[in-house]
Amino acid sequence: MKRSTLQYVAPIFMVTLLTSCAGAAPVASQWPPHPIEMNGHREAWQEEVSLREAGLTVSVSNDDDFIYISLQTSEERVRRQMLMEGFIVWIDPAGGSKEKFGVRYPLGAALTEPDLRPSGPPGAGEPPALSEMVLTKMLAEWEILVDGDHRGSRMFVGEVPELLGKIQHDSDFMSYELRIPIVRDPEATYGVEVASGSDIGIGFQTADRVRQGAGPRVRAGGMGAGRGGGGRRGGGANPGGGVPRAGRGSGGPEPVEAWIKVSLAKPS
């Protein structure tokens, strides 16, 4: 079975307002014994949390310089929505579910390839097969989203080398990884200002509302004083406040949208 691997340096993340994850037991981030390589290998991730109703398995690690996030899914509808409509990961440094910093990655074929845009409700029907050329183009850019604005600034990959993203997928499985810089300067553009041991909120959302046009393309600026730097779907309750969003009555598959609270690890 052929597996497609697409790797890019990506901007970073987070936002979507669901149900607040305040009060839920936080998911424990793990301090990795060595920097995590973004290679799609499950053994690199120490703890996995099942967000059953969202169809995702999540793992989070951190060190002093980065937050590492791994998502895995074997659900066809989730994979289809992520690739066709795009996917957003959000972070609320305050530990809630506010749209403070996000990255849309991938942008989604419906945005980068208008001819592939489905005519029915979001997520409905079988999309056309996506060629390697389309997938490569789709992942050549991303959008950085700030303070709840779902029309972000687009940029080419590689412009912010501290930000990494990788997707591996085949006919029945997808692995999705992101590495987000922890910055020390509140004015830094591409990263999040958080402290080891603090609680953060992490949100996951398929970008099911196809927009007319897209945000402006920008060149990456400096990061100021800031420094860069799964498993298949299972059962059980959603830990950490993972909450799927209520249906929108569109007639198509439910959009993927969930939040978890994560307690960042401290060095041992």
List helix spans (H) across the chain.
76-85, 109-112, 132-138
Containing structural domain, residue 213:
4-263
- How high is the mean pLDDT of the chain? 72
Residue range 175-188, pLDDT digits in tens: 999 999 998 877 77
Per-residue confidence (pLDDT) for residue 6, from 0 to 100: 44
Asked if residues 25 and 239 have their Cβ atoms less than 8 Å apart, the reply is yes
CA 229 to chain centre: 17
Query: What does residue 239 show for φ and ψ, rounded to 5 degrees?
Result: -75, 165
CA 102 to chain centre: 8
Residue range 243-254, pLDDT digits in tens: 334 344 445 667
Per-residue confidence (pLDDT) for residue 109, from 0 to 100: 79
Bridge partners (DSSP) of residue 164 are 179
Report if residue 23 sits inside a domain. Answer: yes
Q: Identify the DSSP state of 43.
A: G
Res. 60: pLDDT tops 70: yes
Report if residue 184 sits inside a domain. Answer: yes
Res. 54: pLDDT tops 80: yes
CA 248 to chain centre: 22
The strands making up 49-51's β-sheet, listed across from edge to edge, are 4-8, 164-169, 174-181, 66-73, 56-62, 49-51
Report if residue 108 sits inside a domain. Answer: yes
Between CA 110 and CA 158 the distance in angstroms is: 23
- How many domains in the chain? 1
Structure tokens at 101: 């910093």
Report how far apart, in Å, the C-alpha atoms of 161 and of each of 33, 164, 170, 229 are: 22, 7, 27, 9
CA 57 to chain centre: 12
Per-residue confidence (pLDDT) for residue 142, from 0 to 100: 83
β-pairing, 27-28 with 257-263? parallel
Res. 226: pLDDT tops 50: no
Q: Determine the average pLDDT of the residues in 84-99.
A: 92
Residue range 97-131, pLDDT digits in tens: 998 888 899 888 776 666 655 555 544 444 456 67
- What per-residue string of b and e applies to 16-55 under the rule 16 or more CB within 10 Å gives b? bbbbbbeebebbbbbbbeeebebebeeebbbebbbbebbb
Nearest CA to 105 out of 38, 186, 172 is that of 38
Report if residue 30 sits inside a domain. Answer: yes
Higher confidence at residue 197 or residue 133? 197
Report if residue 61 sits inside a domain. Answer: yes
151 CB contacts (<8 Å, ≥6 apart)?
143, 211, 214, 215
Evaluated on CA atoms 267, 232, 237, 83, the torsion sign reads positive
Q: Identify the DSSP state of 130.
A: P
Residue range 14-36, pLDDT digits in tens: 223 333 454 557 899 999 888 78
Report if residue 170 sits inside a domain. Answer: yes
Per-residue confidence (pLDDT) for residue 112, from 0 to 100: 67
Between CA 30 and CA 22 the distance in angstroms is: 21
Report if residue 268 sits inside a domain. Answer: no
